[in-house]
Each structure stands twice: as structure tokens, then as C-alpha cells.
Chains A and B, each alone.
Chain A
């Protein structure tokens, strides 16, 4: 698969079809770091394996991409859901990205939580498919953890979030890693007046984490990046999945599958 990946990336760059390829390169003990390839010869740096965690779609709204004419991006099915969201929300043109979609049977050892509930092992949208199509076998219902949590008493839920959110240090890594948190000025940065308290105390942390989730309701694609990067280990996915489940039951809509469908809560 790696060979095919490098081959296609090299060809895209050689033919001038794209002037940048965003992919996975440099192997480390933690994961494969993102790389930005601009020369055909460097395409051989591209890697694919079970340590390719990052959702590279986060870079599609950054300057490095805005300055490029056309970009190639290596993306797993779950990452492509975020690309779908960005197209829907007019953040990128479908014509401006060449998607090298990966047939993926899961990352992480043991598998990341999201991979157990994956229904996009073969991506739903791509320009080139790397690897043979894989049929999704849902090992787990992705909303199961929300349903389990819902069974707890109100008091119990409150105690759980009090404890978890007390850990938040307001580093905003969750926002930085989220492909759909692309606002040039986040609501917490609007300080005339200051709408959301920026202090990492209880009121500030509840405001931040729930406002972020509200803003992603119907938009979060469940790529799990926010939870992966949170340095203190807050189960952020649980908040986002709860919101996604509400949208699913109210509008029969789940984010990230089809960019031609109008999202129920965000029409631009």
C-alpha cells in the first residue's frame, strides 16, 4: 500500500496536478508525524501503517494549504468525513483537493475506540483508493457509550463531569486538532465583551467544553482527535457523541457522509 501511495503522490506532483501532498512521514515511538511534500522525489517519505493517527484534514484550512493551488491529502475514511464537512461548509473547494483515500482496517494497538464502531473502512469519498476495499464489520455500536452513560443518575453524571472537567487546563489542543474547529476567531477569543470565561476554573471549563460541543453539534464527525490529544485525558468524545445522537434522532442526519446534503443546523 505504501508503494502505491508514494507512486500516486509522486505522479500528482510530477504532473503538476497538485503542488503539495499532506501525508504521514517520520516514524516516531508515538505515531507517524504529518509531513508536507512538495517535491516528487520526497514522495518516498510517505508512510502508511497502524500508527497513522492524525486527522490531516485539520491542515486544509491552514495558510499552507490556502497558499497552494491544489493539494493532495492522505486520509482515512474517518478523516474524509471531516473533509466532507469542510466542503459542505464552504471552507474548501472539492476541486482543490485530491483525496488519496486509504482502505483502513483500524489504527492503534489495541485499536482506537473509534475503529471499533467504524463504518467507513472503505472511504465514502476519494479520488484514488489506496488498498483493496474492506467491508465494515461494526465491532461495536459507536453510540453505545452514550447510551450506557445515559443510564446513570443525574447526580452521578454531574459528579462525573465535575471530576473530568476539573482537569481541563484550557490548552485548547482539542480545538487545535479538530478539523472542524476552523474559526479564525473562536468564540472564547471574543473579548469585547468576554462571552466565555477563559479561566480554567469550574465555570470556565464547563462553558468551554460545552460551548465547543454545541458549536460542533451536527458537524462533529467523530474522528476522535480532540479526545486523542487532550493532555489530561478528558473523554471529550462522550460529549460530542451525545450531541451527534440527538441530531441523529431529531433529523435522521449524521455528519460527514455526503457533501451534497444540506446539514440540518448549518446552512451557508
Chain B
């Protein structure tokens, strides 16, 4: 069946309408359409991918939300998120062309921990740098591996720091372990929920990083082909303005154009509060809202394109999570940017075999203040971008000795920077909150019986997580509404 790309839905009623053509929405659409549901994917923007997209500037293509695909496991490793995802979307591993990282590190004042896709490397690094802590570290890893329940079990969610402290007493090591996990998936400041920590620990340390040679485009192209094969309809430039609620259900989906479409179920990847704000109840003047559950953590990213490869400059790490402050401080900065800590990524430093990106890429991500960036007048905005670009590069270079500023400047071909303002504009996430709301909605349910959440605010973050979320919410709320229990019975031990 041909994939249908439209400006407006071709029909007036669907089995399922999906809000957002990011990773989560596309995965859900593929899954549902594959099993014969009449599905329409509604995306406000004219490009797909959401946070995980790309853009063109000065003849170059830049990735937005991709340093590395997390959860990488080699062929043959069973039952992990990547394997589930490939199976459920019927994607062959080769189609994603995932190439493994060369090696990453966490770099703090006076201490470094290297890690790769082989967990024993991190273990021996902890043993080297924190000899007294390695048994505790192993115990922590054991507890995380046993946590396993990726669908998020019931009960309270303890603080990650409190669980870490029951195994590890060194606060420096605690911060070093948390730094990559927070940067790659915490919607909370200062601490993480333990379940989120466990998911991220597995995704980053127990599994690992990989990247397709062609970056984001390889991922989105694969998903588009699957959408086409499955026969899903996709409408671009077609935002949802309102969800008309009647008697506890979504009775109609009103598009930006004013047109109304109906559906048996609606799956939204727009975020929990963002989605609830779309709901309008005919009887009640004010829809229920929990506006306190909005994320605040956003980021700036600087991109420098340079002549040659990072190797030529002496940089062979894939990703460096750095912190230059006394204690690692993961919170919304008072200033526009907090340059004290961040993430350096060299997309060149993956094992692409005999291929190599023609130019060097050097990306830095730092925490940023969304309100600050959004309230700047245009001219000032551009000036601040310049200013913070310089500051971020200068701070990051401290972690890239022996590279110096002159060498980098002399090789620089192009640069760009995006801010929380860009992120808000392109994804509609309140506060440009990349990781969404601090309180996740694990079961994907809303106060309305046929409206479900998927993606970032359901609790699975990142590229792999978002796709897995789309799949599992489609399974749970549309494909197998009542059959969960019998399916569980089949796979449980006798």
C-alpha cells in the first residue's frame, strides 16, 4: 500500500488518531497500521522526527536530537529494548546501520571514568579510581539489572540518590555515575526517580551507544518506509488545536484548520500537560489541568563543523560528559546557560568501518534557561547566541586537551547553535523541556477513556525509549485491551 502524505486527513473517522510524528508517534502508527487499524498521524510541522530531526543550513545537513542511539546491544543479546523494538516494528537490524561507539568518558575535576559498550570496562574503571567502592558499584548494577520491569511496576518510586547511597558512599562517584544518565534522560532536577535511573543505567552503561552512519535521517527514513508498508496515513502541517471532550471521552479532534475528525482512540505524543491543555469540555468551562507537572529542563547545543577528523586533533572519545563545578549541579540555570557541565559529542567517533563522515563535527550540549532565551528580543537573542557559543567552547576545550582554540578556529568551516526557543518552536514542548514532565504517566492513561499518552511523558526517553513507548502504548491500549492477562499467563513460569 502506498503511504499517504496529506495536508489534511482523507477521511472523517479513524480507528486511531495519533498526535505527533516524532519517534513515538511514528512507531505507534506503524504498529497499529500493520495490524489493520485505520490510522492517521497528525503533525503540526512540515518535517517529521520531532525532537529527533534534522535541518539544512548553508548546504549542510545537521542532526538535532541525536548524539547516540542508546540501548545498543550486539546481535544475539536477548530480550532488551532494542531487540523488542526491532521485532515489533519488523525492522531488520541492518536497516538501522547501527555502528558502535569508540568509547566515552565522564570527566570531573581530578577524576575520569571511561566506558564503552562493554560493561566490564566501566567496572574496572570504578575499581581503579574508587577502589573502596567497586563492590558497592557491582551490587548497584546487580540491583538495576534485576529491576528489569520496563513497563514500570506499581508502588512508590524512591529517589535514585537514596538507592545509590545504599551501595556507594563516595559522593563524587555518585555524581559521576548520575551525570550521563541525567543528561540523557532526567526530567527532574538534582535527582532522578529510581525507575528512570534504572532504565537509563541499563540504556547507557549496561547496554551502550551506537549511531547510524547517516544519523537521524537513517532512522526517520526507515520509519517512513515502514509507515508506507503498513498503510498509515500521515498529515503534515496539520496540528491539533483542540480535543473536544464529551462524557469523559474525546468526541472529536479539531485541527488547526478548524475541521473536526473523529476516532475510536487518540494517542498523543505531545506531552501530558500539553495534551490536557488541548482538551475542552462542553459542559465545564475549565478543563482539568495539572499545570504543576511541567518540565523545566532544556538545553542549548553548539555545533562546530571543522576540516578533518576529531582524531586529527587528538580526540578519540565518542562522548564526554564533563563537569567543572565542585558538585555536579543538574538544574535550570539562573543565567541563560550553565557552562560548568555539559556533553561533548563527536559523531565521527563511531566505528563506521571503512566509511567516515567527510567533515569533523563537534557538538556541545549544556543546560539552559528557557524563559531567559524566549524573552530575548531578536537582536539580543542573536548576540547572546554568539556570546554563549564562545563560552561553551572555551569551557569544553578544557576537557579536550591538547586541542587549543586557535587550531579549532583555523579549521572551522561552519557553526550553528540551537536554544530552548528553537526546541519549543519545533516541538511544542512547554519550556522547551526536552525530557518532558517530571512526573511520568507510566500507564499512559488520562482522565478521558479513549485518550492515551505515548512518548516522552509516558516515561521512556530518548530515541529508543520513545519508539518503545509508542509501541507499548499501541499494544496496551488499542491492540490488546483485554488480553494482557492471558498473554502474561502464557509467558510466565509454570
Is B one of A's binding partners? no
Q: Which B residues have a C-beta under 8 Å from some C-beta of A?
A: none
Q: Which A residues have a C-beta under 8 Å from some C-beta of B?
A: none
